[in-house]
Each structure stands twice: as C-alpha cells, then as structure tokens.
Amino acid sequence: MRLTARAVLLDMDGTLINSDASVDRAWSRWAAENGVDPAAVLPHVHGRQAHATLAMLFPERPVERNLADNARMLVWETEDTEGIVPVAGAPAFLAALRDGGVPHALVTSADRALSKARMDAGGLAIPAAWITAESVSASKPDPEGFLLAAAELGVAPADCVVFEDADAGIRAAKAAGMQVVGVGPRAAELGPTVAVETLEQVRVAPGPDGGVELRIVS
C-alpha cells in the first residue's frame, strides 16, 4: 500500500505517544470524585477534549461544570507522565519526516502544556506546526484542527495524510477530506484508509512533484 501526499498531520496520544495509563488514571480519579463507575467512561475518553467527552456522556451536565473539570484534568495529566513512552517506530518516523523535509504538523486535543509534557516524556520533538486545544473552537471529531494545520502548512486538505488512533480523530480527518492511516489496535475497525499496528510499518520516500510517498509494509 502506498499513499502520496504533500503534508503529514499527526495526532499525539495513541499515535506518537502511549499515554493510556495517564489518561486512565485521570479519568478514574474524576470518576471516583463524581460517583461514576470508571468502566462507564474509560472506553470513551480517547481522542477528544475532556469537556467534549463529558458533554457526550452526560448531556444534562452544565457546560461550565464540564469546562471546569476539563481544566482540572489537564493539570492532573500534565503532572502525571509516569509510564509515557513513544509508540513503536515513532522516533524514526518523525526523524524521517524531518530529515526528508516533509511538511508535517502535530494536531492534538491536548493543550500546549500537556502536549509538551508528553512529547518531552517520550523524547519526541514537537514539529514547528503545532495545533492544540487552544487553537480550535471545536474538539475532534470536528475537522477544524486538521483544516487549520493544512492551512498553516499551505497544503490543500486533499493533499494531506493524517495519522490517528481514535474514532473521534479518524472521523475528523475524514470530514476534512483527508486520507487516514489508523495506528494501533483501536484503529483498524474505525474505517481508516489503511491501518498499521505500529509506525514501524511506515516508510517515508520522495513522492511525485515534490511530495512524499508513504509506503505501508507488513
């Protein structure tokens, strides 16, 4: 499988960084404080901002309360980097994009402080183009973040390939009119253009007309 593009857009959690343990600890703490069974929320918390998840799961909750809880959980997660490691193949993949001069951007539902803490914990450099929670008015699955990244890189949405692991992110990328590489065990059943188990399966090569070719190997 080969995909051609002019830019690559990268989700963070679950795509470049394995932060599942930190996310689960924050949401389990929230659940305990609010008398909610963690098992009822944990399957739904990946890929979007916390206030958007709360609005989806508990539509009767006031927006102000969701936003306040979102802010508290961001602090908890930023302070908790225990066990955070890069996804297999992520360091080499980012280096290949950088060394190949491929335009690329980080597009995450985390805010700047949290994304920096996690990328630093995983030993990964943040690309110059960096779209975070502060950059957008709507969380994934809204396509705003990916469209902003494409505009910042000066590339048409149809010429971007997105790397994502979560349902909300894959739906956002598809809504933006972009091809999607689903990364990891959660992604294969979510309708990406192609799925890989890890980023070790992706090769970066020069593409036609100055673009990039992404080769998916087994």
Domain coordinates in residue numbering, the chain? 2-19+84-216, 20-79
Task: Place 171 in a pLDDT band, splitting at 50, 70 and 90.
Answer: very high
pLDDT above 90 (res 139): no
Catalytic sites, residue numbers? 11, 13
| Band of residue 48 on the pLDDT scale cut at 50, 70, 90 | confident
User: What's the pLDDT score for residue 161?
Assistant: 98
Give the 3-state secondary structure of the chain.
Answer: CEEEECEEEECCECCCEECHHHHHHHHHHHHHHCCCCHHHHHHHCCCCCHHHHHHHHCCCCCHHHHHHHHHHHHHHHHHCCCCCEECCCHHHHHHHHHHCCCCEEEECCCCHHHHHHHHHHCCCCCCCEEECHHHCCCCCCCCHHHHHHHHHHCCCHHHEEEEECCHHHHHHHHHCCCEEEEECCCCCCCCCCEEECCHHHEEEEECHHHCEEEEECC
Query: Under CATH, to which class is 2-19+84-216 assigned?
Result: alpha beta
pLDDT at 176: 98
The pTM assigned to this predicted structure is: 0.87
Confidence check: pLDDT of 43 > 90: no
44 has pLDDT over 90: no
